[in-house]
Each structure stands twice: as structure tokens, then as C-alpha cells.
Homo-oligomer: A and B are copies of this chain.
Amino acid sequence: MARTYRDIKADILGRITRGDWKPGSLLPGEIELAETYGVARATVNRAMRELTEDGIIERKRKSGTRVRLSPLRQARFDIPIVRHEVTEQGAAYRYALVSSTVGPAPDWLRARMGLQTGDEVRHLTCLHMADGQPYQYEDRWISLALLPQARVEDFAATAPTEWLIAQIPYSEVDISLSATAADEGLAAHLACRPGEPLLQIERSTRWDGKAVTFVQLVHRPGHRMTTRY
């Protein structure tokens, strides 16, 4: 039976994990591998491409393909829409708009988003709940220069993330993860003690080089982001 690219991939991976091909060592070329395995070069190519994407090997135009010295280089985390995240955990999701204002962007935000003096923003704070308990607190700023329709939108029913996705289907995003201590306000919203360590995601979104939105998402105590590879 003809061997598929999956068979070739598994075989190459096996040789690497068994140490036949050690970290840093050069792999045979695609033509040679195709001959060895008795398959088309395209089949070997697909296996090699997936191994490259998986971070197992690295391919360089001139010096050939090597086993990566440090294969565990990247981790992908799902950053789902919080409604999906909560529902997938089997909990009932509820969204509440806490506050909403329109006004000129404060200095720190102008610097952060790259806005001009006088540029206005819609500022929203929201609470996302799982089974009636606070799950995530959202502090969101939307540029009215780029999205003037955000000035009049009623965010009481629709969470800003879901509204934004419908406005701007694809954007450039900067994400930053950090640990923060609950201040009095956060502690009240997330029903925890002031000073408790909380996992925070900050996200800046641009579209066509212009700032769209900046958000701080702070999770309830004990929240973990997990991934497997």
C-alpha cells in the first residue's frame, strides 16, 4: 500500500525521537528521502512542511534541513470570545454593561493607541459572568475616529468584542499577558480580595495601520490559560 505523507511524517518523527537524527543534525534532502521511502517528492515535501510548522525541523534555503535544537519554541493559545469560552465549560453565560462614556482619549491611551490630541473614544466597562459568578472584567476603548458608529451603538445587549468582529473582520493585533493585583474596583467587580493576583490580557487592535480598540481583560482569581502540543 502506498505510504502517505502522514506515514513519512511519523517515520521522520520517530527517527528524531529515537535519536537517529539528533538535534542540530542535517536531514537527507527531499529527493533522497523520496527515493528511500519510495514515494513522490511532493509527499516528502508535505511531511517536511508539517514538521517545520510543528517546530520539529527547520529548513534553510542554502544549508538544508536540520533537526531543531530547541523544538519547543512556540505555544499557541486559543483566545476565544468569552461567551464561547464560558459556554464550552458548560456554564451559563451572562453579559452586563457596567459603564459607558464618550470623550477625548486620556493621554496614556493616546500614547498607547497612537491617537491624535482631541480624538474621541467610546469607553466601556463590562462584566462577563459564568453561572452567575464574575468570570472576566473588560475595560474597553474604541476609537471614534475609525469607528464613528460606536458613538451611538447600544452595548447593553451586545458585548463589544462581538460587535467589533462584525465591523472589522480582520486586523493586526498586539497581545500582552501579565499578572496584576486586584485594586478596590476590580476586587468589587470580580468578587475577590484587593491585592489578589489576576491574569490580565491586554490587546491592541489596528486596522490598516490605524488604532481600532484597546482592551484590558482581567480574569477571576485562579484563571488559567492552557494549551497542549
- Tell yes or no: A89 within 8 A of B by CB: no
Q: Is A101 an interface residue (CB 8 A)?
A: no
A16 to B168, CA, bound (A): 9
- How many copies of this kind of chain does the complex include? 2
- A49: nearest chain-B partner, CB-CB: B49
Given contact pairs A56-B170, A74-B79, A75-B175, a sample of 13 additional A-B residue pairs in the complex whose CB atoms are under 8 Å apart: A16-B169, A17-B169, A23-B169, A70-B81, A73-B78, A74-B78, A75-B173, A76-B76, A77-B177, A175-B227, A175-B229, A179-B179, A179-B200
Question: Are the C-beta atoms of B74 and A224 separated by less than 8 Å?
Answer: no
Stretch at the interface among A127-135, A148-156, A191-199: A191-199
A173 and B228: CB pair below 8 A? yes
* Chain A interface bracket (under 10, 10 to 19, 20 to 34, 35 or more): 35 or more
Majority SS at the chain A contact face: mixed
- Let me know if A197 and B180 touch, CB within 8 A: yes
* CA distance in complex: A174, B226 (Å): 7
Residues of B within 8 A of A13 (CB): 170
What's the nearest-Cβ distance from chain B to residue A187, in Å? 13
Contacts of A81 in B (CB 8 A): 70
Q: A73-B78, A79-B72 are in contact. Are A174 and B228 (CB under 8 A)?
A: yes
| B173, A72: Cβ atoms closer than 8 Å | yes
Closest A-B pairs by Cβ, 10 of them:
A179-B179, A197-B197, A179-B197, A179-B199, A177-B225, A181-B197, A176-B226, A178-B224, A23-B169, A76-B76
